[in-house]
Structure 1
Amino acid sequence: MSGGYDVELFVDGPDYDLLCTICRCVLRCPVRVACNHVFCKTCILQWLRRQETCPCCRKPINPSCMFVMYKLSKTISRLRIKCNNEGCLATFPLSEEFLHSSSCQFQRVPCPHQGCGSLVPRSALEVHSQHCQHWSQLCPLGCGTLLTQDIQPQHNCYRQLRQQVEAQRQSHRAIAGALRRKMRRMQNAMTHVRRQVALICESLEVMGEGQEGEDEEVEGEVYEGYVEGDTTGESNASSSSSSS
């Protein structure tokens, strides 16, 4: 990969002294080594990974003795270049390349809609975005509907909201019906429980009355036995007295 600027990028052919010996392109971030030869910083660092000698004179190079040539870099930044976007005829200093590319109407930029992936000139981006099949956005009137190119022409907020309200009403009616059925089941269960409690109370009352009758009979029998016992004792006592 070239470390310098492509020669074809410049309006006027650059001087030979401004070319990197390694990549044959215009110097980018030029550095000077101990033997006074100048190279692109990226190019010479890649070269030194293979061998530690100057590519021009073969003298040893110490990476710590390289110097960045700021004045030369500033001179190169003033050279005028051409826009490399197809259709653009603008020329400007090299230092303004980024500024121009960020506003050039011929610059191809990606479509902002997720899933599209198209690269279109900046000047045609707005038109492309309006007709892109991947375009989508929430209804600007606030109904909450996600609009796409297919449904946008038929979209009607009033109809959409009316459908949503009707759906909510049906949902509420269904919930109310389920609650009424549940209430009826609970009422039936309570009625059944009351009947069972009433039957249990009646059974307890009947059992209580029967128990009272049995107790009265037992008391009567005990009382009769007691009376009979007393009578017998008195008769025996009278008989004893007569005998005497």
Structure 2
Amino acid sequence: MAIDLDKYVLKTGTLTLGIVCKDGIVLAADNRQSYASGDGVAYIAGQAKKISSINERCIVTTAGGASDSRNAIKLVRAEIKLKELRSKSISTIKEIASLMSNILFQKIREPSMIPSIAHFLIAGYDEKGYSLYDASPDGYLQKIETYQATGAPFESLGILDVEYKKQITLKEGIELAKKLFTSTRGRQPSVGDGFDIYTITQNEIKQVSSQKVVSELKDRE
């Protein structure tokens, strides 16, 4: 059975990143879309933003199937709006993350020829402060106290393991994120085409960096 599945399960890649700092959270993602052939080689399929908002207090990074990710985000947005209208209260980041993990748990277990695969880093702020969660494709949810990388972590975790420190500042976290993208795109063909970096503090979500790669053909001299 495993051998048969290997013919159809295609591994591509991406890089999404969350870093917990002493004064906030850094959330980042690259912009390259990719797919793969049966031999596991990734091909570029275009560019896409991989950071989306749930509401004004919460954003998520996406990895996995593009349609699966978008569908899960739409469901969470709708459910959160309904919940807040009924309860007349603002949802916490933990509640949003728990809802996302429940959706992933159900989706991947639905009988289907093509299983739903999506992976999210969820970050935001509420009355309790800012927080970061990891919702994996099987529905497992964990709160991140340090850092997490998804998609192509093997090329990234080494740098994080060495350079992350508990008292890291947002400014240092932003520079660390840039370093990770620069390093990983040279080793992972499915990571690249620029990246977006956001910061989450006690009462604000802000995009602090957006870099794009533009191809240009030139005659050789």
Q: Same fold (TM over 0.5)?
A: no
Structure number, greater radius of gyration: 1
Q: Which has the higher contact order (CA 8 A, sep 6+)?
A: 2
TM-score by length of 2: 0.16
Q: Which structure has more strand as a fraction of its residues?
A: 2
TM-score by length of 1: 0.15
